[in-house]
Structure 1
Amino acid sequence: MSLVTSSLWPIIPVSLLLFVAAWWLVTAALAPLNRIGLELANRNADSIEPVSDTGVPEEVSLLVTELNSLLARMLQALQSQQRFVADAAHELRSPITALRLQVQTLSRSKDDIAISQAVGRLLGGVDRASRLVEQLLALARQDPSSQNGELSRIALTSCVEQAISDLGPFALSRHIQLHSNTLVDSGSNSEPDIDIWGNADSLRIMICNLLDNAIRYIPESGQVQLDILATANKVTLTIQDSGSGIRPEERTRIFDRFYRVPGTSPSGSGLGLAIAKTIVDRHKATISLADSKLGGLSVQIDFPALPD
């Protein structure tokens, strides 16, 4: 027994020293994580500054890097949402004020002709406000931070056909001729289905907005031409109109939210091309403006071709 005790006695202090050393090493290694946790716990809800990686072990640095990347994306989404809310509040103020004035005018109208005119202006104001709200909702749904709608293999030709069907009555009311054409790189005109990677609802909204702009801002009895060209590397959608076009110096701002080209009709919301640009970016495509062969504006969108 004394032999066993004498054998174990030297091991006890060594074990205690090893335990203390291990505890100190683990505490020192976890100290940066405890600091990061305490820093995040003491932050406000709107505080999303990057987390300091000072003193962080190499094994944890990747986690901190990804955390800061997530915070950066959250900051971008928050700023985008704040800009959207501010822009929406600013743009809604004008139509609401106009509607109030039109209601006051209607209440003071005495004869049937004045009442009829006031009702017509009031209905026009309601239509403009309704269109603005619809465009704002469409822009919010298509924002990249919303992650609304998954991308899949779809037929771009079907999206074009649906958009033409939706805008056909509007074009007919202004005596606008709508033409569409589908081409492949061989030059044939067999109207095949051309597939891309995208979201059908978003693309239909994009094409409808571009068509609506073309129909709305060209003179009556004009023309709008839609062409789809598929090559080995890309699929190109081109929308041309016979209007007056847009000056080159105005084209750099045309995709900004609520921007209207000076001299255009006040009935637009200034969001159609902004929504189109958001959808284009979401599909990893590119959009460009040029002069149309019909005399007006040409909008060209290049989508990546599907792999074989």
Structure 2
Amino acid sequence: MKAYVFPGQGAQFTGMGKELYENSAEAKELFEKANEILGFRITDIMFEGSAEELKETKVTQPAVFLHSVILFKTLNAQPDMVAGHSLGEFSALVANGALCFEDGLKLVSQRAMAMQKACEIAPSTMAAVLNLEDKVVEDICAEIDGVVVAANYNCPGQLVISGELKAVEEACEKLKAAGAKRALILPVGGAFHSPMMEPAREELAAAIEATSFNIPSCPVYQNVTASAVSDPAEIKKNLIAQLTGAVKWTQSVNQMIADGATSFTEVGPGKVLVGLVKKINNEVETISA
């Protein structure tokens, strides 16, 4: 069975999507439609912008989404299952037909703005923790006074924590003392996938509830459940919970393999996810589209 996976924020690079735009009439039409929907020429920033411009909140998430979804549409692929890392879940939901292209883009744009606003409320951050068991990381986070939680289960021995700035810093010190190879603060705008995103969750919930979702062509393995979901109402609920919930990537990949996935194709900028899949299980085939 073929699994298709879609990357999240951080995969962006200058020039992303340019080749698609120039070589495919369908891709060009979709990119131009996106410029119209967003009200600014995101393609100019994607193709020619600086790394700084690409890091702007209103740009990053829609840019990664557009690159992934438009590339997928040019592949004429027939996935048996899909998943996306954080933001990539929206790309996955367009790929399996649960969301139409226009609605997916609007939701991603709203999500980016809502997250930005939530980040400005209080100082918060994320940190990467290497070479510790998940349970040790979870237990240390639970001991800290303040908000700090496990946010991204990327692969065995690589977990990202998220929360209030002081609490994350304190957790990093304790994690290093407990034997972490590294506990490194990440250059991110705020504490994604933690309770600090509650204001964004409420805002996005209203937008998701107002959007119509279809019955997908294949199941999506959602971040918060790490299980196959095909019911539109359940997909919506999990998508809303995702902003404050953890990205269970390791668990999702393991479940997809248990359910019959023999190959994983990453669609979008970069090759981060195929790298993670290899670390989770080095026997499955991985492909970069």
Structure-2-length-normalised TM-score: 0.25
Higher Cα Rg: structure 1 or 2? 1
Higher helix fraction (1 or 2): 1
Structure-1-length-normalised TM-score: 0.24
The structure with higher relative contact order (CA 8 Å, sep 6+) is 2
